[in-house]
A = this chain, B = another copy of it.
């Protein structure tokens, strides 16, 4: 069960164990993403923080906070959408492992699914055959969700 408060507490401990801090504003941004089943842009997150917490966070800060949350493996950036989503695995032990993201091109609803090792291996092989090096195996799939089909 993804209870926001318990996830936030877990995230706080994770950060503490790494010597970083989950500050109030960082919590607001993370909570905004946790409580959304859609990926949100930085500017949408500004609006969410204003509306739900009456907190004005400038764009620059939101970008920095998102970068921090990514570095802590709490949030993913979906490059094809230029939006951000909380990691579906925050509350278990798979945090940081590789995923594919099904992204609704219409409403930005996102589902994060683990990338099968066999798939991962195939992708790796293709990349190596082409003399490239895989930096980040995150797969983003251009989809429509069931509400939008």
Contact = CB atoms under 8 A, between A and B. Distances in A.
Interface in A68-121: 79-80, 100, 102, 104-105, 111, 113, 116, 119
A124 to B, nearest CB: 10
Nearest to A115: B126
Q: How many copies does the complex hold?
A: 2
B123 A133 contact: no
Contact of A127 (B80, B126, B134, B143): B143
B132 A146 contact: yes
- Which of A79, A116, A146 has its CB near the most chain B CB atoms (within 10 A)? A79
Contact of A138 (B126, B135, B137, B142): B142
B146 A131 contact: yes
Given A80-B80, A102-B130, A140 B140 contact: yes
A139 interface: yes
Contact of A141 (B123, B146, B149): B123
Interface of A: 79-80, 100, 102, 104-105, 111, 113, 116, 119, 122-123, 126-127, 130-146, 149
Closest 8 CB pairs of A and B: A79-B80, A132-B143, A136-B142, A102-B132, A131-B146, A133-B144, A111-B130, A135-B142
